[in-house]
Amino acid sequence: MRQLTIRSIIFLFVLTSYTGCATILTGTHQKISVDSNPKGAIVATDGHTRARTPAVVSLTRWHSGDIVVSKEGYHPKHIVMHRTLNPYALLDLPWFLLGVVPGIVAVGVDIGTGAIWEYNPEMIYADLESKRAGDSESKEKAPETLGDETTLLQDGLLDRTIEDS
């Protein structure tokens, strides 16, 4: 009976060690708040329209990318999203340093899912500059509007908007 209890404890210990701490605790996506002046600007990531400001967009932690905030009549703002080490990934470190196979797998899970990273900053404010007549400073074209919020919601392109209060 005692041997069965010890085996059960070891089995549970090994089983729980096979997953990445950062993946479990923070997930593979991160929510980023985006606001702008003027409000109602388009928020695009990876070339896809995601929402209109103010908004919260969910970004995968797997790869870094840019956020583009744009509105007709204004110069688009490009925000480079920087990734840093997710502090929760350090919870895998004691296992990894001991060379225990479950710890190596846990680190691999966090790396493989991208949960080992977190984005900074978590809140973005874009103060868009108005284009002046004859201003040829930026020939860059902002992402096209795909339609109103109802269309964006129906097409699955609008993650979630925060209503003005």
Sorting pLDDT into bands at 50, 70 and 90, what band is 35?
Answer: very high
Q: What is the dihedral of CA 147, 150, 152, 155, to 10 degrees?
A: -120
Distance between CA atoms of residues 83 and 32, nearest Å: 13
Sorting pLDDT into bands at 50, 70 and 90, what band is 20?
Answer: low
Lowest mean pLDDT: which of 37-46, 70-79, 103-112, 142-151? Answer: 142-151
56 DSSP β-pair partners = 33
Q: What is the pLDDT of residue 1?
A: 59
What token pair was written down for 30? 């991160």
Residue 103 exposure: Cα atoms within 13 Å on the Cβ side: 11
